[in-house]
Structure 1
Amino acid sequence: MATSTGTISTSAGPLDVSTLVSQLISAESQSQLTPLTTQASSYNTLISAYGNLKSALSTYQSAVKGLTEASFSSQKSSVNNAGTGTNLTTDPFTADVNSDDSTKIVAQKIQSAGIASGTTFNAGDSIAIKIGTNSPVFVTLQANATLSGVRDAINAASAGVTASVVTDGSGDHLVLESNTGGTANTIKVTANNSLSGFAYDPSGSTPSTMTQTQAPRDATKAASGTYSVSVSQLAQTQKLSSAGITPGTTFENGLLAIKTGTGSTAIIKPATNTLQGVRDAINSSDAGVNATIVSDGTNDHLVITAKDSGAANTIKITGTGNYSVFSFDPSGSVTSPNVATGQTYASGSLSLKVGDTTVAINPTDLNNSGAIDLNDVMTSINNANAGVTASISNDGTNDHLVLTPTGSSATSAVSLTGAGDYSGLSMGAMGQLLKAQDAKLSIDGVAVTSPSNKVENVISGVTLNLAKVTTSADNFTLNISNDTSGITTAANTFVSAYNTLAKTISDLTKQTPSTTLGESTNSSPLASESSVQTILSQLRNTMFSSVDGGNGISTLSDIGISFQKDGTLALDATKLSTAATNNFAGIANLFSATDPDTTNTTSSKNGIVTKLQTLMDSLLSDSGLIATKTNGLQASLKINQDRQTAVQTRLSNMKDAYTNQFNQLNVTLASMQATQSYLTQQLANLPKVGS
């Protein structure tokens, strides 16, 4: 770069070097730099405008994705009580429609016969997997492989199934599950040589060792109709409570065994011997219960609650040693340890505790046998009227004293503490605060039981949530019907989302003619962009394409949605309502139908929303039209910026060169002025002729 050697100053000579150089560089800049900065501004404006367009398209994409199949095929439930009287039940249950598994789409699953562990399948052998109408995908073993290797090769081939290996008593099994649910996406397998055992074609005549373990099923809707429902009992979770335990009590020996329902028995040995240690050990086990400690202000109570409701989920607790106070038998009775037949008692004491009430039991020889025996103990307990009934059972070898809480004490904890000869009769049990029970209800006169108050798979596609028991005065009916208001909401959302997008695009592409003669039209950034017109054209073509299978509804115009002159959509509510009433399923098909052949994205078997989702994904992808256009503009802007840098460097060098040249000229002119002044002065001093 040239370096200025002079000072830009008008005092150095007659020339205003600063002004001259500034004017010359300004002229050069106008001709070389200004076109580039103008072009850069245009690029930045377009990039920003495409960013706004992308944002608007993304918002529209989100709205379209929110319009699921359920949006256009929703059903609703209503509960009505036609009973008479003043004490009718309110809100005994609610109903969720299409919320249970009975209406969900299911994929086919097949399984091979048992294969011995370590079996090898030969390199070069192949298997072909075909899903529905798709082309088969061929998988060839590149090397000898175990069953796990076959599984991995299938999964790596993206054959439309997920392969896994399960093991049972008959060996290892290859399991194939279709990645797409529905009856149109069944699995067909052909195989050769060592893989031939995996062939599966239920329509063929060749026997196969592969069997179907899960049948494919299409999604369905809840069964519309009116159902009479009454609830006689709610499901309940069993809850037990111990007798009062003095704070600080420790449990020095013994174990707890807890079994809930049909689950396995959990053996529990607390890490610490406090009541808190017992609680924590129970909660950290897999016993199917939760344990808490509740204080009544004086004593602590261990409360154990089953995790699951239902009559089958009863709790059985067996405690030994100090833990015997936590025992509980589902029958509600407390049974003593073994008592030898003919056992007699000469001395000692008995203390019976029912709930928080303690009664001393003093047996006497009531049957005049000459000694106190187990019958005397039983009779003495019954005579005490302490809230339990005592009886004797025999297991074939030994007798047992059995205590059963009764009346108002039926749910109380019971313990019998013996001393002396009676020590062998010591026993205890938790009280039952809530019993395990199923929900009981009637649907159209059919008795139904459920372990939970969430009753599923009774009415197809409907889940009942029970809250209260009904009475004989009630007369509840449940109505399941098509939700035409839901379709109206979804259609309005569909129209509104597009109109918002259309408005944004209109603002980005509009041209406003000038009202002043001679002035050019005022154009928005994307007014001349053909890419935007392409996007609009694709959207409109998609929206008004035809959809098969609607039984008379094949286009948006059939349900009252049409384009207006300004490019927005309008909805004829009356026409939509009529269509929803007459052909509810046809509207759902129009919007959300899906071609089983997922590769055919433009198929007339795909609904409008299905096609729009595919189109939006394409437009907004990294290789889509918006990204391609934006990347091109950014590349052009980078070239422009490089050119501006080069021009600015050239202008800087030119400025230095001009400055040096004009400074030198100024020095020369200044010297000439001095010489002229000197000569003028000398000439003025010459003698005048004739003087």
Structure 2
Amino acid sequence: MGVGSGINVRDLVDQLVAAEREPRENRIARQEQRFEAQISGLGKLKNALSEFGSTLSGLSSAGDFRQVETRVVNEGMVTANARDNAPIGNYEVEVAQLAQSQRLATSADLFSGEEDFDPKTALGAGDVTITLADGTTETFTLSENRSSLENLRDAINDQSANLRASVIDDGNGPRLTLSTTQTGEQNAISRIDVNADGGALLNRLGFNAADLGEDQDTSGGFRQLRAAQDAIVLVDGLQITRPTNELRGVLDGVDLTLNDVGTTRVTVAEQEGTALEAIRGFVEAYNELRGQLNELNAFNPESEESGILNGDSTLRGVQDQMARMISNPVEGMDGTVRALADLGISTQRDGTLAINEFRLNERLSEDREAVVSLFTQADTGIAARMKGVVDQFTGRDSIINSRTKSLEKQMSGLADDRDRLEYRMERIEARYIAQFSAMDAMIAQMNQTSQFLDNQLKALPGNNRK
């Protein structure tokens, strides 16, 4: 191209196509930047609301506004852990007996008459059924070629959740020991029944707890080394029996662990300042949220720079609803505490909150329960209704999610716009090339005609002068 006219047609076409493309491409780029900024801004808004929602979740119950601590005179005897709902009080705790598990061992002379008896000696095939005091039964089956003390030990340890077995040599030969994994009389072994051939050594492993007494610690093939027993504790004179040393429900809201017998005192006291710290935490979290909302909606008239959600309807909706939830009284509240303003919490010009510590402490001293109810009252309390606003804007089908999906769909549409623009530019380029090619060919033809005419004129008789 350009041979006939001498014009650089390729360069000219590229410039014309670029001139056509630039305004349309810039418009798409501006739309893309706007969509990306809005998506980013909505993401920041959602994250800020979600973080604030996490704070609100920790202010929904009265227990969130109090912490209790326990003091035990002798922690080597009893340890105590109080939950937030534990009432304050002092208790005398006497541990009369600790719970313990049961331990049995085969009698020292059970297999003494058997020559070369060891842990691998076959006892004979059969079933060993162990019954606990609560009626639980477990049966362990031994085959002819796997019927030693060690095989029975392994079967028990592999299959039982209630028992642990071991084989030890005390110098008089191997002995099988059985221990219950849980403390308490209800978890003790009450019977061991064996079903084997008449002459099998396995039959010697029977046991019946009913045979035991003060002067009798053996039954069948076993000796009781340690009897199972329940914990016995007296709290302010009231006797309580439990199968474990971990006691719950003995003291309201307090878990006890018994470590040794004896008498001690347990004190449950409320930590001071917990409610004040909880309210401070709420105000700090709200101010953090409000600061982020203000940043997203900011506008600097001097530099004419604005936040990425300046003027956005969703952001404005969040700000308006949060402001109402902060300032409106709580329904159902009577007396002198009905709104945050009654606690000395006021709204500043930028929407953040400020605390009058003297007023707040005064309200907590006068009517702590009302202050806590202001935040924790079901459905209408500060925490509940603000959590409702958070969920409205951040939930699965929330306004923010819907808008984000819409913007993402519009972003996808811009890719189609770019494809259409590219197709349009290809057609314009082809048209320009066709037009300039035709022009170039015409100019070339005209140059040829001009040269021909010039040659003809030069050949006329009047032009052949010497």
1 or 2, which has the higher helix percentage? 2
Q: State which of 642, 649, 655 in structure 1 corresponds to 2:429.
A: 655
- Distance in 2, matches of 1:249 and 1:689, equals 141
Question: In the alignment, which residue of structure 1 is the partner of 2:397?
Answer: 623
Go from structure 1 to structure 2 and tell me whether the alpha carbon gap of 1:58 and 1:315 turns closer, same or farther (over 3 Å shift): same
Amino acid across the alignment from 1:302: L
How far did 1:577 drift?
4.3
In the TM superposition, what whole-angstrom CA distance separates every residue of 1:493-551 from its partner, at most 9, and x where no partner exists?
32333333323323322122345xxxxx1122211212101011112222333233476
Match of 1:240 among 104, 121, 124: 104
Closer, same or farther: CA 527–449 of 1 in aligned 2, 3 Å: same
How far does residue 50 in structure 1 lie from its aligned partner after superposition? Answer: 1.6
Deviations 1:447-499 (A, max 9, x none): 3333221222222232222223346xxxx432223344443443343233333
CA–CA distance in structure 1, aligned partners of residues 104 and 258 of structure 2: 24
Aligned partner of 2:406 among 627, 632, 636: 632
Partner of 1:566: 350
Query: Quick one: distance in 2 between partners of 1:11 and 1:290?
Result: 102
Find the aligned partners of 1:438 and 1:550 in 2 and give their Cα distance.
Answer: 51
* Residue 66 to residue 679, structure 1, CA distance change in 2 (3 Å): farther
Cα displacement string for residues 154-181 of structure 1 (whole angstroms, at most 9, x for unaligned residues): xxxxxxxxxxxxxxxxxxxxxxxxxxxx
What do the CA deviations read for 1:625-670 (whole angstroms, capped 9, x no partner)? 1123223323444444444433332222111111111111122223
The aligned counterpart of 1:528 is 311
Q: Does residue 1:93 correspond to 2:85, yes or no? A: no
Task: Give the aligned residue type for 1:461.
Answer: G
Give the equivalent residue in structure 2 for 1:429: 222
Q: Does residue 1:540 correspond to 2:323, yes or no?
A: yes
C-alpha change, 1:514 and 1:673, in structure 2 (3 Å) is: farther
323-332 or 270-279: which moved more? 323-332
Unaligned runs of 5+ in 2: 112-117, 195-200
- Aligned pair in 2 of structure 1 residues 276, 68: CA closer, same or farther (>3 Å)? farther
1:671 to 2:445 alignment: yes
Output the amino acid matched with 1:565. Answer: R
- Residues 149 and 167 of structure 2 are in contact (CA less than 8 Å); yes or no, is this contact kept in structure 1? no
Q: CA deviation at 1:324?
A: 3.0
Q: CA–CA distance in 2 between the matches of 1:542 and 1:559?
A: 15
Deviations, residues 207-234 of structure 1 (Å, cap 9, x unaligned) = xxxxxxxxxxxxxx43322222233332
Residue 503 in structure 1 maps to residue 310 in structure 2: no
1:361-440 paired onto structure 2 within 5 Å: 404=216, 427-432=220-225, 434-440=226-232
Q: Describe the shift of the 1:80–1:278 C-alpha distance in structure 2 as closer, same or farther (beyond 3 A).
A: closer
Aligned-partner Cα distance in 2 for 1:575–1:323: 81
Q: Is the 8 A contact 1:282 1:290 kept in 2?
A: yes
Q: Residue 114 of structure 2 aligns with which residue?
A: none
Aligned counterparts of 2:414 and 2:348: Cα–Cα separation in 1: 42
Residues 253-289 of structure 1 deviation map (CA, whole Å, 9 limit, x = unaligned): 6654433223255565445422244235545778x83
Distance in 2 of aligned mates of 1:543 and 1:56: 17
CA contact (8 A) 2:125 2:142 kept: no
Q: Label 1:649 to 1:285 Cα distance change in 2 as closer, same or farther (>3 A).
A: closer
Summarize the Cα distance change of 1:92–1:563 in structure 2 as closer, same or farther, 3 Å threshold.
Answer: farther
* Partner of residue 209 from structure 2, selected from 306, 318, 329: 329
State the alpha-carbon separation in 2 of the partners of residues 466 and 223 from structure 1. 21
User: Quick check: 2:157–2:163 contact (8 Å CA) kept in 1?
Assistant: yes
1:235–1:309 CA contact under 8 A, matched in 2 = yes
Percent identity for Structure 1 against Structure 2: 26
SS in 2 for 1:430: strand
Q: Is the 8 A contact 1:484 1:580 kept in 2?
A: no
Instruction: Select the residue among 58, 75, 95 that pairs with 1:231.
Output: 95
CA distance in 2, matches of 1:268, 1:662: 99
Asked if residue 249 in structure 1 is aligned to residue 121 in structure 2, the reply is yes
SS at structure 1 position matched to 2:288? helix
Which deviations, in whole Å up to 9, do the C-alpha atoms of 1:125-145 show, x marking residues without a partner? Answer: xxxxxxxxxxxxxxxxxxxxx
Structure 1 runs not aligned, ≥5 long: 1-8, 82-88, 100-220, 335-388, 390-403, 406-413, 416-426, 516-520, 596-605
Change (3 A) 1:663 1:253: closer
Count of matched residue positions in the alignment of Structure 1 and Structure 2: 447
The whole-number CA distance in structure 2 between the counterparts of 1:555 and 1:494 is 14
The 1-side partners of 2:413 and 2:128 are apart by 80
Aligned AA (1:431): Q
Secondary structure, counterpart of 1:583 in structure 2: helix
CA root-mean-square deviation:
3.5
**Residue 575 to residue 237, structure 1, CA distance change in 2 (3 Å):** farther
Q: Mark the CA change 1:649 to 1:690 in structure 2 (over 3 Å): closer, same or farther.
A: closer
1:431 counterpart SS class: strand
Alignment of 1:334-345 (within 5 A): none
CA shift at 1:674, angstroms? Answer: 4.2
1:50 corresponding residue in structure 2: 42
| Alignment-mate amino acid for residue 462 of structure 1 | V
- Please give the secondary structure, in 1, of the residue aligned with 2:93: strand
Structure possessing the higher relative contact order (Cα contacts under 8 Å, 6 or more residues apart): 2
Kept after mapping to 2: 8 A contact 1:14/1:669: no
Q: Is the 8 A contact 2:126 2:142 kept in 1?
A: no
- How do residues 240-389 of structure 1 correspond to structure 2 at under 5 angstroms? 240-243=104-107, 246-252=118-124, 256-264=128-136, 269-271=141-143, 272-282=146-156, 289-296=162-169, 299-320=173-194, 322-325=202-205, 327=207, 329=209, 332=212
Q: Given that residues 71 and 487 in structure 1 are in contact (C-alpha distance below 8 angstroms), is that contact kept between their aligned partners in structure 2?
A: no
SS of the aligned residue for 2:250 comes to coil
* Residues in 2 aligned to 1:304 and 1:584: alpha-carbon distance in whole angstroms: 57
Please identify, of 664-673 and 637-646, the stretch whose mean Cα deviation from structure 2 is larger.
637-646
- Secondary structure, in 3 states, of the residue corresponding to 1:223? coil
Q: Check whether the contact 2:41–2:309 (CA below 8 A) recurs between aligned residues.
A: yes
Give 3-state SS (helix, strand or coil) of 2:241's partner: strand
- Distance (whole Å) between structure 2 residues aligned to residue 465 and residue 505 of structure 1: 49
Match of 1:65 in 2: 57
Q: SS in structure 2 opposite 1:656?
A: helix
Partner secondary structure for residue 209 of structure 2? coil
Corresponding residue of 2:86? 222
Deviations 1:224-254 (A, max 9, x none): 2222223333222222233467311322266
TM-score (norm 2): 0.82
The 1-side partners of 2:432 and 2:414 are apart by 26
How far apart in 2 are the matches of 1:671 and 1:20?
21
Distance 1:237 1:485, change over 3 A: farther
- Native 8 Å contact 1:283 1:289 kept in 2: no
1:608 aligns with 2:375: no
Matched to 1:428, the amino acid is G
- 2:101/2:182 contact within 8 Å kept: yes
3-state DSSP of counterpart to 2:369 = helix
Is the contact made by 1:318 and 1:324 (CA closer than 8 Å) also made in structure 2? Answer: no
